[in-house]
C-alpha cells in the first residue's frame, strides 16, 4: 500500500466527489464574515487595508525591469488591470511547461527567473508576495473557478486526501475544524469554513502579508503536526483542493485577518 492509499480511502469515506463540493454553494462563507467589525472595516477600506502597501509595491515591481536588457512584467503583459483580470481566480492550475500544478506565486516566480532572468526569490520574500498581491488584486470580486480534472486530477486527489487525514499530536484533520466545528469558538476566534480566497492576506498576528501556504503551515503547527516546507508540492495540492472547495467565492486579495 502506498503512503497515500489510506488517506485516499479516508477521503472517499467522506463521500466527496469532484462534482459535488462538501459545502453547498448557498452556504459558502468567506472568512471575513467571521471576523470582528474592526477587521471587516479594515479590509473593506483600501485606505485602511495594510495589504494595499504590498499591492503598491507589486505595482512598482510590475513596471520595473529586473536587470539591464531584461523586460519588465509590463513590457510583456501590458496593463495588469486588463491582462491579469481573472488570472488569480484560475489558480492553482496545471502548468504544461512545469508538468505539474502550480500556484500563482510559483507561476510568477517562474516568469521572473526564466523570462526576465531575475534572481530567484524564496517564498514569503517581500517582493514575491508583493507581486502576487498585485496580480491577484486585479481579480478582486471575481469568483474562484479552478480546474481539477484532466492532468490536475491527481494533484487534486492528493490535496483532498491531505485535507481529510488526521495528523499531529492532536490527531486532527482540517475537516474536523473547518467542516465539523464551523462557527464554534477557538480561544478568541470563531472557526471559519477555512477558505483561502483572501490570500495573500495581511494578518494582524504577523504584522505582514503572508501567503496561503504560510497560513496552512501555521495551522499544521497549531495541531502539533509536521508542516511541509514552503513550496512543497503537497501544499500546492492542498491549495488546489481548497480552491475547488470554495469555488464561487470572490477573490478578496489583499484580505485582512486577525
Per-residue pLDDT of the chain (258 residues; tens, 9 = 90+): 444 444 444 444 444 445 678 888 899 999 999 999 999 999 999 999 999 999 999 999 999 998 888 999 999 999 999 999 999 999 999 999 999 999 999 999 999 999 999 999 999 999 999 999 999 999 999 999 999 999 999 999 999 999 999 999 999 999 999 999 999 998 888 999 999 999 999 999 999 999 999 999 999 999 999 999 999 999 999 999 999 999 999 999 999 999
| pTM score, whole prediction | 0.90
Cα gap 60→257, rounded to integer Å:
25
Distance between alpha carbon 93 and the CA centroid of its chain, in Å? 12
Site of grid cell 464574515: 33
Our separate counts of H helices and E strands in the chain read 11, 7
So which residues are the catalytic ones? 219
> Which strands make up the sheet holding 255-257, listed edge to edge?
208-210, 201-203, 255-257
Cα gap 87→103, rounded to integer Å:
11
Q: Which domains does the chain have, with CATH numbers?
A: 25-46+144-257 (1.10.760.10), 52-81+105-137 (1.10.760.10)
Q: Is 94 left (phi over 0), alpha (psi -120 to 50) or beta?
A: beta
Q: Which helix (H) or strand (E) holds 107?
A: helix 104-110
Cα gap 105→211, rounded to integer Å:
9
What is the DSSP annotation of 111-130?
IIIIIS-PPP--TT-HHHHH
Q: Note the pLDDT of residue 68.
A: 82
Amino acid at each position: 500500500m502506498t503512503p497515500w492509499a489510506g488517506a485516499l480511502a479516508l477521503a472517499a469515506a467522506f463521500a466527496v466527489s469532484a462534482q459535488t463540493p462538501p459545502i453547498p454553494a448557498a452556504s459558502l462563507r468567506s472568512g471575513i464574515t467571521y471576523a470582528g467589525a474592526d477587521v471587516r472595516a479594515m479590509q473593506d477600506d483600501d485606505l485602511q487595508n495594510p495589504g494595499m502597501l504590498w499591492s503598491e509595491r507589486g505595482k512598482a515591481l510590475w513596471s520595473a525591469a529586473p536587470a539591464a536588457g531584461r523586460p519588465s512584467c509590463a513590457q510583456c503583459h501590458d496593463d495588469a488591470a486588463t491582462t491579469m483580470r481573472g488570472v488569480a481566480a484560475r489558480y492553482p492550475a496545471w502548468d504544461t511547461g512545469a508538468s505539474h500544478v502550480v500556484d500563482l506565486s510559483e507561476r510568477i516566480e517562474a516568469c521572473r527567473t526564466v523570462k526576465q532572468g531575475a534572481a530567484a526569490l524564496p517564498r514569503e520574500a517581500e517582493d514575491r508576495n508583493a507581486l502576487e498581491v498585485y496580480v491577484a488584486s486585479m481579480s478582486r470580486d471575481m469568483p474562484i473557478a479552478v480546474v481539477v480534472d484532466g492532468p490536475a486530477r491527481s494533484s487534486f486527489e492528493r490535496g483532498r486526501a491531505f485535507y481529510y487525514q488526521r495528523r499531529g499530536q492532536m490527531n486532527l484533520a482540517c475537516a474536523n475544524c473547518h467542516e465539523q466545528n464551523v462557527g464554534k469558538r477557538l480561544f478568541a476566534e470563531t472557526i471559519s469554513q477555512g477558505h483561502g480566497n483572501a490570500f495573500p492576506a495581511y494578518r494582524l498576528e504577523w504584522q505582514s502579508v503572508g501567503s496561503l501556504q504560510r497560513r496552512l503551515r501555521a495551522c499544521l503547527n497549531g495541531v502539533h503536526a509536521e508542516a511541509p516546507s514552503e513550496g512543497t508540492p503537497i501544499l500546492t495540492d492542498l491549495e488546489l483542493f481548497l480552491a475547488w472547495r470554495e469555488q464561487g467565492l470572490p477573490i478578496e486579495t489583499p484580505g485582512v485577518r486577525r
